């Protein structure tokens, strides 16, 4: 950290700030809290699960569709910071509301959650695009990797506090109900997210931009149309996004399905939470290692290393039987999940024009969000046909093989994409 500039440190700290939301609200505590609230209100388990799925799908679809045009408008001078701040406030405010909405109001909880997803996803579009403003191209691998590493480390602190409050309440050690303990965890998440974003708001500014025009919205739609045409024609960028779609789908599926997979193996909820925590701890130093090795061997080669490790993970999953096997699998995942995501972000940032970074990261966000459809379906259909969860996880190997094969075809050293936005 001491070798980073003030702008780089401030940018990295946003990963530290928002990762609390990722683990407590998206993954660990709120899904269980919502299920319990819906059940207590008289909803069948299948119905509450369906509503949960609809809420996530709606929020993800909305932010994905809006991402390119938001990014295009955000490229105008002074807009990037404004959009980032708007979505940040939206996410933090509705996360805080989760802590005060009565637990029997499951529909209100779900609506608040939708707004948190939109705020989190919208802020990340502009956060990722700020990478080109805070550092030089030769440092992008390391800075992006350190961001993910800080995120893994930072997320463990509120995670430990939140889980401890709930477990101590369950045991009667704390004079709190599990509901109140969960609500305190939501409040901690909002406070953590907001406070540690202050350096980003204070020190990071839009360095690369497009000068404002008379009709920014209509002009943005024109630019977006030209960009879509040029992305397809620009082979390195098009092939990378295509490869990214496949391999990141596999990465996301393993992350999102891991809890259900562990439960099918008979691993207890407590052990699953411990394994999740350990994975976060392991992922931090490996994310930094990926960044350092990428500077030495190129980002593309390290992305291929990450894909190869995930192929090993899918193969090992087929033979999984014991809790120890699951621990080994989780550590393998931890060794590469942060690195492959960080280097993907840095690799993409190097290919796009800096003054149009928001727009391109809007398209990047679409691939990132929609790369959560094919993998879960593949696991589901394979598991159902074979009656074996191990076979379902093994089927993800197809996504990594396709993604790796396409990435091999991405030419290197071809420079950034260039687009004449003044053409008729």
Which residue did the predictor score with more confidence, 228 or 181? 181
Could you tell me the end-to-end alpha-carbon distance of the chain, in angstroms, rounded to an integer? Answer: 47
293-322: pLDDT as tens digits: 999 999 999 999 999 999 999 999 889 888
* Per-residue pLDDT reduced to its tens digit, 68-79: 788 888 888 888
Average of per-residue pLDDT across 10-17 = 95
Confidence of residue 187 (pLDDT cuts 50, 70, 90): very high
Q: Give the mean pLDDT of 128-156.
A: 91
263 vs 7: which has the higher pLDDT: 7
CA 180 to chain centre: 28
* 130 closest CA partner among 194, 64, 216, 199: 199
CA distances from 275 to 63, 108, 126, 194, 269 (A): 31, 32, 32, 27, 10
Contacts of 10 (CB under 8 A, 6+ apart): 134, 199, 200, 202, 203, 204
pLDDT of residue 424: 46
240 close to 346: Cβ distance less than 8 angstroms: no
pLDDT value at 232 more than 90: no
Query: Which tops the pLDDT comparison, 19 or 270?
Result: 19
Fold adopted by 6-408: Growth Hormone; Chain: A; (1.20.1250)
pLDDT at 234: 77
Identify which of 22-31, 89-98, 225-234, 271-280 has the greatest average pLDDT: 89-98
For residue 43, how many other CB atoms are within 10 A of its CB?
Answer: 17
Q: pLDDT tens digits, residue range 337-385?
A: 999 999 999 998 888 888 778 778 877 877 776 666 677 778 778 877 8
pLDDT tens by residue, 31-60: 888 888 888 888 887 778 778 778 877 887
pLDDT of 292 above 90: yes
Evaluate if residue 408 carries a pLDDT over 80.
yes
Tell me what percent of the residues of the chain surpass a pLDDT of 70.
92
The overall average pLDDT reported for the chain is 86
């Amino acid at each position: 950290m001491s070798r980073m500039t003030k702008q780089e440190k401030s940018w990295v700290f946003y990963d530290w700030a928002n990762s609390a939301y990722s683990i407590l609200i998206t993954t660990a505590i709120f899904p269980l809290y919502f299920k319990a609230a819906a059940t207590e209100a008289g909803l069948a388990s299948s119905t509450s699960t369906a509503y949960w799925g609809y809420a996530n799908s709606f929020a993800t679809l909305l932010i994905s569709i809006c991402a390119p045009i938001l990014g295009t408008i955000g490229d105008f001078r002074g807009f990037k910071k404004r959009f980032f701040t708007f979505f940040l406030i939206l996410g933090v405010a509705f996360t805080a509301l989760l802590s005060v909405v009565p637990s029997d109001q499951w529909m209100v909880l779900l609506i608040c959650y939708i707004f948190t997803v939109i705020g989190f996803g919208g802020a990340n579009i502009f956060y990722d695009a700020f990478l080109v403003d805070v550092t030089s191209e030769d440092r992008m691998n390391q800075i992006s990797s350190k961001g993910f590493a800080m995120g893994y480390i930072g997320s463990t602190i509120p995670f430990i506090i939140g889980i401890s409050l709930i477990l101590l309440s369950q045991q009667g050690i704390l004079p709190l109900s599990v509901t109140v303990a969960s609500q305190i965890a939501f409040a901690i998440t909002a406070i953590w997210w907001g406070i540690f974003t202050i350096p980003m708001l204070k020190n990071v500014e839009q360095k690369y931009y497009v000068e404002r025009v008379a009709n920014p919205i209509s002009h943005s739609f024109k630019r977006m149309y030209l960009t879509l045409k040029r992305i397809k024609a620009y082979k390195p960028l098009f092939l990378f996004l295509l490869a990214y779609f496949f391999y990141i789908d596999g990465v996301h599926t393993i992350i999102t399905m891991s809890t259900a997979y562990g439960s099918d193996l008979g691993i207890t909820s407590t052990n699953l939470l411990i394994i999740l925590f350990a994975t976060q701890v392991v992922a931090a130093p490996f994310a930094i290692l990926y960044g350092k090795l990428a500077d030495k061997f190129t980002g593309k080669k390290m992305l291929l290393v990450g894909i190869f490790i995930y192929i090993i993970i899918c193969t090992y999953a087929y033979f999984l039987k014991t809790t120890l096997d699951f621990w080994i699998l989780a550590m393998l995942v931890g060794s590469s999940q942060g690195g492959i995501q960080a280097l993907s972000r840095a690799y993409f940032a190097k290919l796009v024009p800096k003054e149009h970074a928001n727009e391109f990261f809007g398209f990047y966000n679409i691939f990132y969000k929609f790369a959560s459809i094919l993998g879960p379906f593949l696991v589901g259909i394979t598991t159902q046909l074979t009656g074996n969860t191990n076979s379902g996880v093994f089927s993800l190997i197809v996504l990594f093989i396709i993604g790796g094969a396409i990435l091999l075809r991405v030419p290197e050293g071809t420079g950034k994409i260039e687009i004449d936005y003044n053409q008729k």
